[in-house]
Amino acid sequence: MNEGEAELVVAKIAVRLGVGLQVAEVEWAGARSFGMRLAGLENSQSFSIGLELLPRRAEAILVMDGFAGEVIRSMQANLIANQGLWPDMIVDAEENGVRTLVSVNGVHVSGGVDDPDTIWHSLDIECSKRVSKFEKAPLDSLVEVGANCLGLVLAVLEIDWADEDVEEGATEGGVTHVVSTRYERSPINRLRCIQYYGVTCWVCDSDFGRTYGHLGDGFIEVHHRTPVSQLGPGYVIDPKRDLVPLCSNCHSMIHRQNPPFAPDELRAMLGLPEKPILSRN
């Protein structure tokens, strides 16, 4: 993979997760390759994701920077607090052909915290996907494994995703701007929603990649089926039931009334056939 291909892959992963990324040279397995880092991440939380496209396999691996022990143990504590998170994400990835190996202190684990009393000193995450010799877009497999590897890290890394770019109309009062932004911009919820539904609009079936080529490839907005104003503090998002991917037009039209239209209501207005969507009940 050359630098131009690396830039394309990293840009697609950034769109998939909704986070700022930059291309970086990463040393792993005794060699250097292109990879990615979070843009603007503090040095105390620094890590890289190495990316490698082999003849029959796409690989992504977590590479922690030096003196990362405190960060690794913080990740362990967060995973203990949410034991099912990684196993659920790993299963979602497997449904898309991505295999995940997690090692703690050099020993393979199931993806959870097998022994909470063991202190984590090292953490390795490797995601891989078989690439057929007939595959027309092998770089897309690299996007899949890279997004999954980074997603597992972000799920348990303490990063404040809040910023000042809050959507117009976000509710004030009981739910603050910060909480609203966190709900809207959680890269893990976004990733798992897209893993399940894909990047085509659930309502009108449009695909930005088909319309705009590389410019729109992988781009999609993610809509909360329950308005953010109704999500109380501590609400746990179910990405498959609470979120749905929408194109910009359908996302705008759904919000033309308050409360918003349900996605299946808008689809019916377009005269399109019914299709399944997971119940929130």
* 180 has pLDDT over 80: no
Sign of the CA dihedral with 134 first, then 132, 48, and 27 last: negative
Is 224 in contact with 184 (CB distance < 8 Å)? Answer: yes
Please tell me the number of Cα atoms within 13 Å of 248 on its side-chain side: 3
What single DSSP character describes residue 114? S
Provide the whole-model pTM: 0.76
pLDDT per residue as tens digits for the range 7-48: 999 999 998 888 888 898 888 777 788 899 888 765 545 789
Mean pLDDT of 113-130: 84
Q: Which of 8-17, 61-70, 204-213, 258-267 has the lowest mean pLDDT?
A: 61-70
- Determine the Cα–Cα distance for residues 151 and 49; give it in Å rounded to an integer: 11
What pLDDT is stored for residue 171 in this prediction? 31
How is residue 126 written in tokens?
């490797």
What pLDDT is stored for residue 214 in this prediction? 80
| Torsion angle of the four alpha carbons 236, 239, 245, 246, in this order, in degrees rounded to the nearest 10 | -20
168-186: b or e for each residue (b if 16 or more CB lie within 10 Å)? Answer: eebbeeebeeebbbbbbbb
Higher pLDDT, 53 or 229: 53
Q: Which of 93-107, 149-163, 232-246 has the lowest mean pLDDT?
A: 149-163
Segment 40-44 long-range contacts (CB within 8 Å, at least 24 positions apart): 41/159, 44/70, 44/71
Mean pLDDT of 205-227: 86
What pLDDT is stored for residue 168 in this prediction? 32
How is residue 146 written in tokens?
């890279």
pLDDT per residue as tens digits for the range 198-207: 889 999 999 9
- Determine the Cα–Cα distance for residues 34 and 50; give it in Å rounded to an integer: 6
What pLDDT is stored for residue 244 in this prediction? 92
**How many of the other CB atoms lie within 10 Å of CB of 276?**
6
What pLDDT is stored for residue 263 in this prediction? 92
Mean pLDDT of 132-155: 85
- Determine the Cα–Cα distance for residues 254 and 71; give it in Å rounded to an integer: 41
Tell me what the pLDDT averaged over the chain comes to: 80
What single DSSP character describes residue 215? G
